[in-house]
Amino acid sequence: MSYGLFAVAVLRTEHLSATFRRITFGSPRLADLVWGGLDQRVKLVLATADQLAGVPGDDDWFEWWRSLPDAVRPPMRTYTIAAHRPGEGEVDIDFAVHGDSGPLSSFARGARPGDRLLLVAPGPGAEPDVGVAWRPASARRLLCVGDETALPAIRNILGTLSADQTCDVLVEVPDASDPCALPTAAQVRITWVVRRPGEAVGTRAEAVMFGTAASPSSPGEADPDLWEEATGTAGDRYAWVAGEVAWVNRLRTHLATRGYTGANASFMGYWRSGFPSRG
């Protein structure tokens, strides 16, 4: 078994910024969760009380979920764990809240202690790197690009880097209160871009990335060295990009011309603008 099902309850919530809310979930079973950190993917299932009571065992949960009629199938979304405290049976998950337009965003806005849902995450016997896309191998020159949905993973990733690595980071967020500390031992250059109201996701970040606009936190045009062509072997450099699907696909095309391909890059579409995900 790789991924198992954990019935969890909200223990507490914390307002981090205009966009982000941290929710701490608890369950004695979370002591058995195998957390690999980094960008490891987990899922939350917003089941009703009756559905929670009828959930089958770990090995059958996906068939149970998929077999339910569309009208009653509980929403499932992908997230990144911000912290795992096995001794306390707790996990923290940071939600990028965008009003009530999505079921999990709506849940996060109104979450109260005692609210219950299902966490799908690596269970006993799982390898620590299951669900992890960050695989830089021996690369020392690193690149991380993402929108607000990628920020929790970027924070985790930077926390694992060593002093002999360098990392250029670009994060686009919806609000000026969203930029936050990203502790790391590596040599990093972090560029925050605040999206303007009504602007398509990635528009501002792409402009900064390719030297056609200024970033609020990096006045002037972007340093062309920030996204320069990858030279040498594929193992010298590594790019990680995550966020809205159409934007990630555009960056995949752009970065391929600069030498970042499947051999030294990972591209993850976390969500699709205008198309609610079913999980």
**pLDDT score, position 58:** 60
Q: Which of 27-36, 53-62, 251-260, 265-274 has the lowest mean pLDDT?
A: 53-62
pLDDT tens, 222-270? 343 445 545 555 578 999 999 999 999 999 999 998 889 888 999 999 9
Q: Which domains does the chain have, with CATH numbers?
A: 3-122 (2.40.30.10), 141-271 (3.40.50.80)
**pLDDT score, position 108:** 95
In Å, the largest CA–CA distance within the chain is 57
pLDDT band at residue 201 using 50, 70 and 90 as cut-offs: very high
Give the residue from 113, 145, 108, 124 showing the smallest Cα distance to 238.
145
How many other CB atoms sit within 10 Å of the CB of residue 214?
Answer: 15
**pLDDT score, position 52:** 82
DSSP one-letter string for the chain: --EEEEEEEEEEEEE-SSSEEEEEEE-GGGGG-----TT-EEEEE---HHHHHT---GGGHHHHHHHS-TTTPPPEEEEEEEEEEGGGTEEEEEEE--TTSSHHHHHHHH--TT-EEEEEEE-TT--TTTT-----TT--EEEEEE-GGGHHHHHHHHTT--TT-EEEEEEEESSTT-------SSEEEEEEEEPPTTPPTTHHHHHHHTTSSEETTEEEEPPGGGGPPP-S-GGGEEEEEEEEHHHHHHHHHHHHTTT--TTSEEEEEEEBTTB----
**pLDDT score, position 216:** 45
Q: Rounded distance, CA 271 to CA 246, Å?
A: 9
> Looking at residues 91-111, what average pLDDT do you find?
90
The yes-or-no verdict on residue 1 having pLDDT over 60 is no
pLDDT band at residue 54 using 50, 70 and 90 as cut-offs: confident
Q: Mean pLDDT of all residues in the chain?
A: 87
pTM: 0.89
Higher pLDDT, 199 or 223: 199
The yes-or-no verdict on residue 218 having pLDDT over 80 is no
Q: Would strands 218-221 and 214-215 be described as parallel, antiparallel, or unpaired?
A: antiparallel
Higher pLDDT, 215 or 35: 35
pLDDT tens, 11-28? 999 999 999 999 999 999
How many other CB atoms sit within 10 Å of the CB of residue 247?
Answer: 23
Q: Would strands 237-244 and 265-271 be described as parallel, antiparallel, or unpaired?
A: parallel
How many other CB atoms sit within 10 Å of the CB of residue 69?
Answer: 6
Core vs surface per residue 101-115: b (16+ CB within 10 A) or e: ebebbbbbeebeeeb
**pLDDT score, position 219:** 33
- Per-residue HEC secondary structure of 61-73 comes to HHHHHHHCCCCCC
The yes-or-no verdict on residue 204 having pLDDT over 80 is yes
**pLDDT score, position 57:** 65
pLDDT band at residue 217 using 50, 70 and 90 as cut-offs: very low
The yes-or-no verdict on residue 275 having pLDDT over 70 is no
